[in-house]
Amino acid sequence: MRGAILEPFARVTNQPENGSLPLPRVDTCYFCDIIAGRSDAWNVVERNELTVTMLNGRQFAIGQCMVVPIRHAPTLLDLTGEEGAAVMAAAQRLMRVLIGELAPDGVLLYQNNGVGSLQEVPHYHLHVVPHVPGSEWGSGPPHLAAVQSGRRPPHLDHAIVTDAKRETVGRLRNRFTSDDPTYDGGGKE
CA dist 98 and 33 (Å) reads 26
Please tell me the predicted confidence (pLDDT) of residue 118: 87
Please tell me the predicted confidence (pLDDT) of residue 4: 44
User: Would you say 161 and 131 are in contact if contact means Cβ atoms under 8 Å apart?
Assistant: no
Instruction: List the pLDDT tens digit at each of the 189 positions of the chain.
Output: 334 443 444 455 545 556 689 999 889 999 999 999 999 899 999 999 999 999 988 877 888 899 999 999 999 999 999 999 999 999 999 999 999 888 899 999 999 999 988 898 999 999 999 887 776 666 666 555 555 566 666 665 666 777 877 777 777 777 767 666 555 555 444
Structure-derived torsion over alpha carbons of residues 156, 62, 90, 24, reported in degrees to the nearest 10: 60
DSSP 61: S
User: Would you say 63 and 130 are in contact if contact means Cβ atoms under 8 Å apart?
Assistant: yes
> What's this model's pTM, rounded to 2 decimal places?
0.75
Please tell me the predicted confidence (pLDDT) of residue 58: 80
Please provide the CATH number assigned to the domain covering 3-151.
3.30.428.10
DSSP 174: H
Domain ranges of the chain: 3-151
